[in-house]
Structure 1
């Protein structure tokens, strides 16, 4: 396979090094990067000769010039804040480059329709990083659910990833920019749930605050109670006693699903799938975007009906 050229938007962000590593590990080259923050020394560990820009206008101009010279960028990897994904995907496609975007692909369902129009106009493709679909434990779970036929399962998803005071002061704490807790830290779980258990039939939101959100989903083959939080006080006592800052749990019909390992190379695996023509496109991203949009705009019902047990300690 011929080596491909990449540009990257959001080089100073938390997830950017995973993309840099994926580009390198798949035998490709990062030739340009963009971020308004110039704390991007990590680039030296992967692609020290890459051009770097702090202004999107100059980055866009550089990509355009490369295309006009006959040396176009093949892919633009997008690791920018959630609310900018739509604009940055459009920047990539205008330059006839394929886009590889972190989740959520966009914040609003109607943005997906607009991106599909641009795909059709330019012939470039948009791919979303939905790495849980590549996790061996999640693949095995999906296969077991499919083998069980029409059975309705009872599922409980708990994800607590503690964040400091900086979180609410950053774009991640601004619902207009991040989409809120369910979107920012939960969208990949909602994608995984729909991929494994089928389309959402009904959604109820019990809590939706700056630090946590919880609700119930009825899917084609599961009832799901979910709880998401960035508040360390919501961690189980055992995790707090051990000084842990993260807690991740999925239970299926009362049994814990082990998936604590196997996350290290999922971005590289995602890139391999994309480069082989097997990546997850715009349509694959739609269900999760619709789910988190509904959660964001739903009126919380409080602690009634089938709520997640962690809701009690979050009151």
Structure 2
């Protein structure tokens, strides 16, 4: 059994990590969050020590390490705001633990280089949650691409609209310096998936970018991709919104829909099983996706061409 610590226990994604730790037969011994609305811990690890101050959390983990007792931490799971991931991974490695970090790994690609140096210094490893690589539908798509005619490029449309309320722009997620913007905050998994399935990135154009939506064109070895992301409920198609749904997700390849709405329930647990078996996704697997979102965040808007996403038509009129 391995011992875990958790940074960011009050957020939306933390319960998935708690469940994964429990489902894999391991123990959460300590958790940290500046917010104390963390009653969810009782559903998984009621005996876990909890801290609202980083300094006390740091001292506690160091004490467990120095005492070399049965509660010494082996892994630190990181679910903190995006801009803190880099610092918290460095802390985990220097504490003598491996890290398991939520997306996005970091905001800038050069941070990956620094983390690789600390991995070498400490002998510990950074693992990341790239759960779409483990989704059966995505694996099947990758196999389809691999078996298709050599040189064929798929025409892909990716649309992801996940409505958020007025709180979104008032939180750290609405601050580009902290979240990386919408393409980083809700899009980075999709960009990683596209690279995983379709190969090396060859072109990256940005057609629209705002705090609540973004669109552009990506070209990979095996695909031409038009993409659109939004947190604005008004972008949800009328026929979907009329049924009460506030989220819309669509991926088509050569006109054929890729259905992957289901199958997400246990992907964090599967990710943890792979990490514990030594098969986790490391720093380098994240580089292309992080380079992609960093470019989208800083690039000037490209002139519209015939490659733009249909949703952009409504935005530029």
Q: Give the TM-score normalised by structure 2.
A: 0.97
How do 1:14-53 residues align onto structure 2 when only pairs under 5 Å count?
14-53=12-51
Instruction: Tell me whether 1:105 sits opposite 2:93 in the alignment.
Output: no
Report the 3-state secondary structure (helix = DSSP H, G, I; strand = E; otherwise coil) of the residue aligned with 2:161.
Answer: strand
How do 1:140-155 residues align onto structure 2 when only pairs under 5 Å count?
140-148=140-148, 149-155=150-156
Residue 145 of structure 1 and its aligned partner are, at CA, apart by 0.3
The CA distance in 2 between the partners of 1:103 and 1:281, in whole Å, is 12
Report the 3-state secondary structure (helix = DSSP H, G, I; strand = E; otherwise coil) of the residue aligned with 1:311.
Answer: helix
Residue correspondences, number: 313
Gaps in structure 2 of 5+ consecutive residues: none
Asked whether the equivalents of residues 204 and 215 of structure 1 are also in contact (C-alpha less than 8 Å), the reply is yes
Report the 3-state secondary structure (helix = DSSP H, G, I; strand = E; otherwise coil) of the residue aligned with 2:290.
Answer: helix
Gaps in structure 1 of 5+ consecutive residues: none
Residue 68 of structure 1 and its aligned partner are, at CA, apart by 0.4
CA deviation vs aligned residue, 1:271-294 (integer Å, no higher than 9, x gap): 000001110000111110010001
The CA distance in 2 between the partners of 1:303 and 1:50, in whole Å, is 53
Residue 303 of structure 1 and its aligned partner are, at CA, apart by 4.0
Moved over 3 A (4+): 302-305
In the other structure, the counterpart of 2:254 is 253
Report the 3-state secondary structure (helix = DSSP H, G, I; strand = E; otherwise coil) of the residue aligned with 1:290.
Answer: helix
Report the 3-state secondary structure (helix = DSSP H, G, I; strand = E; otherwise coil) of the residue aligned with 1:31.
Answer: strand
CA deviation vs aligned residue, 1:124-181 (integer Å, no higher than 9, x gap): 0000100000000000000110111321110010000000000000000000000000
In the other structure, the counterpart of 1:90 is 90
Report the 3-state secondary structure (helix = DSSP H, G, I; strand = E; otherwise coil) of the residue aligned with 2:281.
Answer: coil
Larger deviation, residues 75-84 vs 237-246: 237-246
CA deviation vs aligned residue, 1:231-250 (integer Å, no higher than 9, x gap): 00001111111110100110
The CA distance in 2 between the partners of 1:135 and 1:223, in whole Å, is 22
In the other structure, the counterpart of 2:268 is 267
Instruction: Tell me whether 1:175 sits opposite 2:176 in the alignment.
Output: yes
The CA distance in 2 between the partners of 1:160 and 1:258, in whole Å, is 15
Larger deviation, residues 123-132 vs 66-75: 66-75
In the other structure, the counterpart of 1:196 is 197
The CA distance in 2 between the partners of 1:218 and 1:303, in whole Å, is 15
Residue 80 of structure 1 and its aligned partner are, at CA, apart by 0.2
In the other structure, the counterpart of 1:186 is 187
**2:61 pairs with 60, 63, 72, which one?**
63
Asked whether the equivalents of residues 76 and 98 of structure 1 are also in contact (C-alpha less than 8 Å), the reply is yes
Asked whether the equivalents of residues 207 and 302 of structure 1 are also in contact (C-alpha less than 8 Å), the reply is no
CA deviation vs aligned residue, 1:1-56 (integer Å, no higher than 9, x gap): xx100000000000000000000000000000000000000000000000000011
Asked whether the equivalents of residues 34 and 54 of structure 1 are also in contact (C-alpha less than 8 Å), the reply is yes
Instruction: Tell me whether 1:135 sits opposite 2:115 in the alignment.
Output: no
Residue 312 of structure 1 and its aligned partner are, at CA, apart by 2.2
Instruction: Tell me whether 1:8 sits opposite 2:6 in the alignment.
Output: yes
Residue 305 of structure 1 and its aligned partner are, at CA, apart by 3.6
Residue 199 of structure 1 and its aligned partner are, at CA, apart by 1.2
The CA distance in 2 between the partners of 1:199 and 1:64, in whole Å, is 42
In the other structure, the counterpart of 1:212 is 213
Q: Give the TM-score normalised by structure 1.
A: 0.98
The CA distance in 2 between the partners of 1:235 and 1:278, in whole Å, is 37
C-alpha RMSD of the superposition: 0.8
